[in-house]
Structure 1
Amino acid sequence: MATKQLDTLLKFEQDKERQCAEQLQKAENEYQQNVIRLQGVADYRLEYMKRLSQRAEFGIDSSTYTHYHAFISKLDHASEQVEIAMQQAKALVEQSKSLWLAQRQKVQAVESLREKRAQKAQQLALKKEQKMFDEIATQQFVRRKLNL
Protein backbone atom coordinates (compact mmCIF):
# COMPACT_ATOMS: atom_id res chain seq x y z
CA MET A 1 0.00 0.00 0.00
CA ALA A 2 1.42 3.36 -1.02
CA THR A 3 2.13 6.11 1.47
CA LYS A 4 -0.60 8.28 -0.02
CA GLN A 5 -3.12 5.46 0.39
CA LEU A 6 -2.00 4.94 3.99
CA ASP A 7 -2.40 8.66 4.67
CA THR A 8 -5.92 8.55 3.25
CA LEU A 9 -6.77 5.45 5.27
CA LEU A 10 -5.34 7.03 8.41
CA LYS A 11 -7.42 10.18 7.91
CA PHE A 12 -10.54 8.07 7.36
CA GLU A 13 -9.92 5.99 10.50
CA GLN A 14 -9.14 9.11 12.54
CA ASP A 15 -12.42 10.67 11.41
CA LYS A 16 -14.25 7.53 12.49
CA GLU A 17 -12.42 7.63 15.82
CA ARG A 18 -13.48 11.26 16.31
CA GLN A 19 -17.08 10.29 15.61
CA CYS A 20 -16.86 7.43 18.11
CA ALA A 21 -15.37 9.78 20.71
CA GLU A 22 -18.21 12.26 20.14
CA GLN A 23 -20.77 9.47 20.55
CA LEU A 24 -19.07 8.39 23.77
CA GLN A 25 -19.13 11.95 25.06
CA LYS A 26 -22.83 12.30 24.23
CA ALA A 27 -23.60 9.00 25.98
CA GLU A 28 -21.64 10.05 29.07
CA ASN A 29 -23.46 13.40 29.13
CA GLU A 30 -26.82 11.65 28.89
CA TYR A 31 -25.84 9.33 31.73
CA GLN A 32 -24.78 12.28 33.90
CA GLN A 33 -28.03 14.11 33.15
CA ASN A 34 -29.97 11.04 34.28
CA VAL A 35 -27.93 10.86 37.48
CA ILE A 36 -28.77 14.50 38.15
CA ARG A 37 -32.45 13.90 37.34
CA LEU A 38 -32.58 10.94 39.69
CA GLN A 39 -31.00 12.97 42.47
CA GLY A 40 -33.45 15.79 41.79
CA VAL A 41 -36.46 13.50 42.02
CA ALA A 42 -35.08 11.92 45.20
CA ASP A 43 -34.48 15.35 46.75
CA TYR A 44 -37.95 16.54 45.78
CA ARG A 45 -39.51 13.37 47.21
CA LEU A 46 -37.64 13.87 50.47
CA GLU A 47 -38.77 17.49 50.65
CA TYR A 48 -42.35 16.46 49.97
CA MET A 49 -42.14 13.80 52.68
CA LYS A 50 -40.90 16.46 55.12
CA ARG A 51 -43.88 18.66 54.25
CA LEU A 52 -46.23 15.75 54.84
CA SER A 53 -44.59 15.06 58.18
CA GLN A 54 -44.83 18.71 59.22
CA ARG A 55 -48.48 18.94 58.22
CA ALA A 56 -49.22 15.64 59.96
CA GLU A 57 -47.96 17.09 63.25
CA PHE A 58 -50.87 19.51 63.21
CA GLY A 59 -53.29 16.96 61.80
CA ILE A 60 -54.46 16.54 58.21
CA ASP A 61 -57.66 15.20 56.75
CA SER A 62 -57.78 11.99 54.77
CA SER A 63 -58.19 13.66 51.37
CA THR A 64 -55.03 15.73 51.91
CA TYR A 65 -53.17 12.62 53.06
CA THR A 66 -54.43 10.75 49.98
CA HIS A 67 -53.26 13.64 47.79
CA TYR A 68 -49.78 13.58 49.36
CA HIS A 69 -49.60 9.80 49.14
CA ALA A 70 -50.66 9.82 45.45
CA PHE A 71 -48.07 12.46 44.61
CA ILE A 72 -45.32 10.55 46.42
CA SER A 73 -46.31 7.44 44.43
CA LYS A 74 -45.94 9.49 41.22
CA LEU A 75 -42.51 10.62 42.36
CA ASP A 76 -41.56 7.00 43.08
CA HIS A 77 -42.73 6.02 39.59
CA ALA A 78 -40.77 8.92 38.07
CA SER A 79 -37.72 7.80 40.02
CA GLU A 80 -38.07 4.26 38.63
CA GLN A 81 -38.37 5.61 35.08
CA VAL A 82 -35.29 7.79 35.48
CA GLU A 83 -33.39 4.84 36.93
CA ILE A 84 -34.30 2.73 33.90
CA ALA A 85 -33.17 5.55 31.59
CA MET A 86 -29.97 5.83 33.62
CA GLN A 87 -29.26 2.11 33.25
CA GLN A 88 -29.86 2.32 29.51
CA ALA A 89 -27.58 5.34 29.29
CA LYS A 90 -24.90 3.47 31.24
CA ALA A 91 -25.16 0.54 28.83
CA LEU A 92 -24.85 2.96 25.92
CA VAL A 93 -21.75 4.46 27.53
CA GLU A 94 -20.16 1.02 27.80
CA GLN A 95 -21.07 0.16 24.21
CA SER A 96 -19.78 3.50 22.93
CA LYS A 97 -16.57 3.08 24.90
CA SER A 98 -16.00 -0.36 23.37
CA LEU A 99 -16.56 1.01 19.87
CA TRP A 100 -14.22 3.92 20.51
CA LEU A 101 -11.50 1.63 21.89
CA ALA A 102 -11.81 -0.69 18.89
CA GLN A 103 -11.59 2.27 16.53
CA ARG A 104 -8.60 3.64 18.47
CA GLN A 105 -6.84 0.32 17.94
CA LYS A 106 -7.48 0.55 14.19
CA VAL A 107 -5.99 4.04 14.11
CA GLN A 108 -2.95 2.87 16.05
CA ALA A 109 -2.51 -0.09 13.68
CA VAL A 110 -2.58 2.17 10.61
CA GLU A 111 -0.20 4.63 12.31
CA SER A 112 2.16 1.75 13.11
CA LEU A 113 2.03 0.43 9.54
CA ARG A 114 2.60 3.92 8.18
CA GLU A 115 5.59 4.39 10.49
CA LYS A 116 7.08 1.02 9.47
CA ARG A 117 6.67 1.91 5.81
CA ALA A 118 8.37 5.27 6.37
CA GLN A 119 11.27 3.58 8.18
CA LYS A 120 11.59 1.02 5.39
CA ALA A 121 11.60 3.78 2.76
CA GLN A 122 14.23 5.68 4.74
CA GLN A 123 16.40 2.56 5.00
CA LEU A 124 16.12 2.00 1.25
CA ALA A 125 17.08 5.61 0.61
CA LEU A 126 20.10 5.25 2.90
CA LYS A 127 21.15 2.05 1.12
CA LYS A 128 20.86 3.76 -2.29
CA GLU A 129 22.88 6.69 -1.02
CA GLN A 130 25.54 4.34 0.40
CA LYS A 131 25.63 2.41 -2.87
CA MET A 132 26.08 5.67 -4.77
CA PHE A 133 28.96 6.73 -2.48
CA ASP A 134 30.53 3.29 -2.82
CA GLU A 135 30.27 3.57 -6.62
CA ILE A 136 31.87 7.02 -6.56
CA ALA A 137 34.68 5.77 -4.31
CA THR A 138 35.25 2.77 -6.58
CA GLN A 139 35.39 4.98 -9.68
CA GLN A 140 37.85 7.34 -7.98
CA PHE A 141 39.99 4.38 -6.95
CA VAL A 142 40.00 2.99 -10.50
CA ARG A 143 40.88 6.43 -11.95
CA ARG A 144 43.78 6.81 -9.55
CA LYS A 145 45.07 3.37 -10.46
CA LEU A 146 44.88 4.22 -14.16
CA ASN A 147 46.61 7.58 -13.67
CA LEU A 148 49.55 5.96 -11.92
Structure 2
Amino acid sequence: MSPGASPAPAQGAVTVEEARREDLPAIVSILARETMFGVRDSADPADYADYERAFDAIAADPRCTLYVARLEGRVVGTFQLILFHALLRHGALLAHAEAVQVDPDVRGKGVGSAMMEFAIAEARRRGAGSLQLASNKLRFDAHRFYEKAGFEKRLDGFKIDLAAHG
Protein backbone atom coordinates (compact mmCIF):
# COMPACT_ATOMS: atom_id res chain seq x y z
CA MET A 1 0.00 0.00 0.00
CA SER A 2 1.33 3.44 -0.88
CA PRO A 3 2.03 5.99 1.89
CA GLY A 4 -1.11 7.86 2.91
CA ALA A 5 -3.43 5.34 1.20
CA SER A 6 -6.33 3.94 3.18
CA PRO A 7 -6.65 0.21 3.55
CA ALA A 8 -9.40 -1.39 1.47
CA PRO A 9 -12.60 -2.05 3.42
CA ALA A 10 -12.96 -5.56 4.77
CA GLN A 11 -15.02 -8.01 2.71
CA GLY A 12 -18.66 -7.39 3.63
CA ALA A 13 -17.90 -4.03 5.29
CA VAL A 14 -20.29 -1.16 4.66
CA THR A 15 -18.73 2.18 3.78
CA VAL A 16 -20.52 5.53 3.71
CA GLU A 17 -19.37 8.41 1.55
CA GLU A 18 -20.64 11.47 -0.25
CA ALA A 19 -22.66 10.53 -3.32
CA ARG A 20 -21.16 11.13 -6.75
CA ARG A 21 -23.14 11.93 -9.88
CA GLU A 22 -22.42 8.46 -11.26
CA ASP A 23 -24.19 7.00 -8.18
CA LEU A 24 -27.48 8.61 -9.22
CA PRO A 25 -28.95 5.64 -11.16
CA ALA A 26 -28.37 3.31 -8.20
CA ILE A 27 -29.81 5.85 -5.74
CA VAL A 28 -32.93 6.36 -7.87
CA SER A 29 -33.34 2.59 -8.22
CA ILE A 30 -33.35 2.21 -4.43
CA LEU A 31 -35.85 5.06 -3.99
CA ALA A 32 -38.13 3.66 -6.71
CA ARG A 33 -38.24 0.25 -5.01
CA GLU A 34 -39.86 1.77 -1.90
CA THR A 35 -43.58 1.37 -2.62
CA MET A 36 -45.06 0.98 0.87
CA PHE A 37 -47.07 4.18 0.38
CA GLY A 38 -47.63 3.90 -3.35
CA VAL A 39 -45.30 4.75 -6.18
CA ARG A 40 -43.59 8.08 -5.45
CA ASP A 41 -40.31 7.65 -7.28
CA SER A 42 -39.51 6.23 -10.68
CA ALA A 43 -36.50 4.61 -12.29
CA ASP A 44 -38.03 5.37 -15.70
CA PRO A 45 -35.37 7.11 -17.83
CA ALA A 46 -38.02 9.65 -18.90
CA ASP A 47 -38.06 10.92 -15.29
CA TYR A 48 -34.29 10.99 -14.85
CA ALA A 49 -33.91 14.73 -15.54
CA ASP A 50 -35.91 15.49 -12.37
CA TYR A 51 -33.40 13.54 -10.29
CA GLU A 52 -30.44 15.15 -12.05
CA ARG A 53 -31.81 18.62 -11.24
CA ALA A 54 -32.36 17.63 -7.61
CA PHE A 55 -28.86 16.13 -7.36
CA ASP A 56 -27.34 19.34 -8.73
CA ALA A 57 -29.34 21.49 -6.29
CA ILE A 58 -28.28 19.34 -3.33
CA ALA A 59 -24.64 19.38 -4.45
CA ALA A 60 -24.73 23.19 -4.75
CA ASP A 61 -26.18 23.71 -1.26
CA PRO A 62 -23.47 23.79 1.45
CA ARG A 63 -26.08 22.90 4.08
CA CYS A 64 -26.99 19.60 2.39
CA THR A 65 -25.00 16.49 1.61
CA LEU A 66 -26.24 13.37 -0.13
CA TYR A 67 -24.54 10.16 0.98
CA VAL A 68 -24.44 6.58 -0.24
CA ALA A 69 -23.64 3.36 1.56
CA ARG A 70 -21.61 0.80 -0.35
CA LEU A 71 -21.38 -2.89 0.28
CA GLU A 72 -18.57 -4.54 -1.68
CA GLY A 73 -18.46 -1.46 -3.92
CA ARG A 74 -22.19 -1.47 -4.79
CA VAL A 75 -24.53 1.37 -3.73
CA VAL A 76 -26.99 -0.23 -1.31
CA GLY A 77 -28.28 2.73 0.71
CA THR A 78 -28.68 6.48 0.71
CA PHE A 79 -29.61 9.41 2.91
CA GLN A 80 -29.33 13.16 2.91
CA LEU A 81 -27.94 15.16 5.83
CA ILE A 82 -29.20 18.73 6.20
CA LEU A 83 -27.74 21.20 8.70
CA PHE A 84 -29.50 24.42 9.68
CA HIS A 85 -29.49 27.00 12.44
CA ALA A 86 -32.52 27.62 14.61
CA LEU A 87 -33.22 30.35 17.10
CA LEU A 88 -34.09 27.81 19.77
CA ARG A 89 -31.38 26.64 22.15
CA HIS A 90 -29.49 29.91 21.65
CA GLY A 91 -29.14 29.53 17.90
CA ALA A 92 -28.22 25.87 17.86
CA LEU A 93 -27.05 24.13 14.72
CA LEU A 94 -29.40 21.22 14.09
CA ALA A 95 -29.12 18.26 11.74
CA HIS A 96 -31.86 16.38 9.92
CA ALA A 97 -31.52 13.05 8.10
CA GLU A 98 -33.86 12.77 5.12
CA ALA A 99 -34.73 10.06 2.59
CA VAL A 100 -33.03 7.27 4.52
CA GLN A 101 -33.36 4.19 2.31
CA VAL A 102 -31.67 0.80 2.14
CA ASP A 103 -31.91 -1.57 -0.81
CA PRO A 104 -34.53 -4.17 0.24
CA ASP A 105 -32.19 -6.97 -0.89
CA VAL A 106 -29.61 -6.12 1.79
CA ARG A 107 -31.75 -5.09 4.74
CA GLY A 108 -30.53 -6.72 7.93
CA LYS A 109 -26.87 -6.67 6.81
CA GLY A 110 -25.78 -3.58 8.77
CA VAL A 111 -26.27 -1.00 6.02
CA GLY A 112 -28.77 1.13 7.94
CA SER A 113 -26.68 0.91 11.11
CA ALA A 114 -23.57 2.05 9.25
CA MET A 115 -25.48 4.96 7.72
CA MET A 116 -26.92 6.12 11.05
CA GLU A 117 -23.58 5.76 12.86
CA PHE A 118 -22.02 7.86 10.11
CA ALA A 119 -24.84 10.45 10.20
CA ILE A 120 -24.54 10.83 13.98
CA ALA A 121 -20.75 11.15 13.84
CA GLU A 122 -20.87 13.61 10.92
CA ALA A 123 -23.56 15.78 12.54
CA ARG A 124 -21.50 15.85 15.74
CA ARG A 125 -18.28 16.61 13.82
CA ARG A 126 -19.97 19.54 12.09
CA GLY A 127 -21.18 20.96 15.42
CA ALA A 128 -24.86 20.02 15.43
CA GLY A 129 -26.58 19.89 18.80
CA SER A 130 -29.00 17.17 17.70
CA LEU A 131 -29.90 14.93 14.81
CA GLN A 132 -33.49 14.19 14.00
CA LEU A 133 -35.36 12.35 11.31
CA ALA A 134 -38.95 11.63 10.44
CA SER A 135 -40.37 8.22 9.68
CA ASN A 136 -43.88 7.44 8.56
CA LYS A 137 -46.00 6.35 11.51
CA LEU A 138 -46.78 3.01 9.81
CA ARG A 139 -43.11 1.99 9.41
CA PHE A 140 -42.93 -0.03 12.61
CA ASP A 141 -39.77 -1.94 11.63
CA ALA A 142 -38.02 1.36 10.88
CA HIS A 143 -39.10 2.76 14.25
CA ARG A 144 -37.60 -0.23 16.08
CA PHE A 145 -34.41 0.17 14.04
CA TYR A 146 -34.08 3.90 14.86
CA GLU A 147 -34.69 3.31 18.56
CA LYS A 148 -32.03 0.58 18.54
CA ALA A 149 -29.68 3.10 16.83
CA GLY A 150 -30.14 5.49 19.79
CA PHE A 151 -32.93 7.77 18.56
CA GLU A 152 -35.72 8.59 20.99
CA LYS A 153 -39.31 8.65 19.79
CA ARG A 154 -40.41 11.96 21.27
CA LEU A 155 -41.91 14.05 18.51
CA ASP A 156 -45.21 13.96 16.69
CA GLY A 157 -44.91 15.30 13.19
CA PHE A 158 -47.38 16.79 10.79
CA LYS A 159 -47.15 17.08 7.04
CA ILE A 160 -49.16 18.61 4.24
CA ASP A 161 -48.73 17.56 0.64
CA LEU A 162 -48.56 20.96 -1.07
CA ALA A 163 -48.96 19.46 -4.54
CA ALA A 164 -52.33 18.05 -3.51
CA HIS A 165 -53.46 21.29 -1.86
CA GLY A 166 -53.06 23.73 -4.75
What TM-score range do you get, normalising by the shorter chain?
under 0.3
Answer 1 or 2: which has greater helix percent.
1
Q: Which has the higher contact order (CA 8 A, sep 6+)?
A: 1
TM-score when normalising by structure 1:
0.21
Tell which structure's C-alpha radius of gyration is larger: 1
Q: TM-score, normalised by structure 2?
A: 0.19
